[in-house]
């Protein structure tokens, strides 16, 4: 990673739809160099893909929550089965697998508190491997738009 790679990553994270020509001009490099650098970033696994960010309330999912989950017994098979289950839940938008007291943090986006209540009581607590669950409503969520190399 050199300065040009870092600058390209910054530009792409701010706007993944920018044209190759536009980025090359801003960085003072040839369009062919810009294209080759981006191709190299993808091949090295630095750039994993491009996505469209959506507004959750516009999709009828205006309430977000973090659900901390503890699984018992904490075996690989049980954890993998639970992870596969929550991956299929449409309400779950992110899954964090952890060490420590909790095994998972589930980031969910739902319609309202009734929907959240249903997710916890009707879906999660029905799982026999679930030992503990704690739910926290998200008041606000900030994400850095650009992640720089350290």
Instruction: Give the pLDDT score at 24.
Output: 97
| Residue ranges covered by each domain of the chain | 3-43, 61-138
- Provide the pLDDT confidence category of residue 116 given band limits of 50, 70 and 90: very high
Q: What are phi and psi for residue 86, nearest 5 degrees?
A: -70, -25
Taking Cα atoms as reference points, which of 3, 77, 71 lies closest to residue 37? Answer: 3
Instruction: Give the pLDDT score at 95.
Output: 98
The CATH architecture to which 3-43 belongs is Orthogonal Bundle (1.10)
Cβ distance 115 to 64 under 8 Å?
no
Instruction: Give the pLDDT score at 150.
Output: 85
How does pLDDT run across 86-96, given as a tens digit for each residue? Answer: 999 999 999 99
- Provide the pLDDT confidence category of residue 82 given band limits of 50, 70 and 90: very high
Q: Between 3.90.380.10, 3.40.190.10, 3.30.70.920, 3.40.50.800, what CATH number should domain 61-138 receive?
A: 3.30.70.920
How does pLDDT run across 9-59, given as a tens digit for each residue? Answer: 999 999 999 999 999 999 999 999 999 999 999 999 999 998 888 999 999
């Amino acid at each position: 990673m050199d300065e040009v790679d870092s600058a390209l990553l910054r530009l792409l994270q701010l706007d993944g739809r920018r044209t190759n020509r536009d980025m090359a001009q801003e960085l003072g490099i040839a369009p062919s160099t810009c294209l080759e650098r981006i191709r190299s970033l993808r091949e090295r696994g630095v750039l994993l893909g491009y996505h469209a960010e959506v507004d959750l309330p516009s999709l009828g999912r205006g309430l977000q929550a973090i659900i901390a989950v503890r699984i018992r017994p904490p075996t690989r098979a049980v954890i993998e089965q639970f992870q596969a289950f929550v991956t299929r839940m449409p309400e779950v938008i992110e899954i964090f697998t952890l060490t420590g007291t909790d095994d998972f943090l589930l980031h969910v986006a739902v319609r309202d508190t009734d929907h959240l209540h249903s997710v916890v009581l009707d879906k999660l607590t029905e799982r026999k491997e679930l030992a503990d669950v704690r739910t926290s409503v998200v008041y606000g969520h900030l994400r850095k738009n650009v992640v720089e190399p350290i």
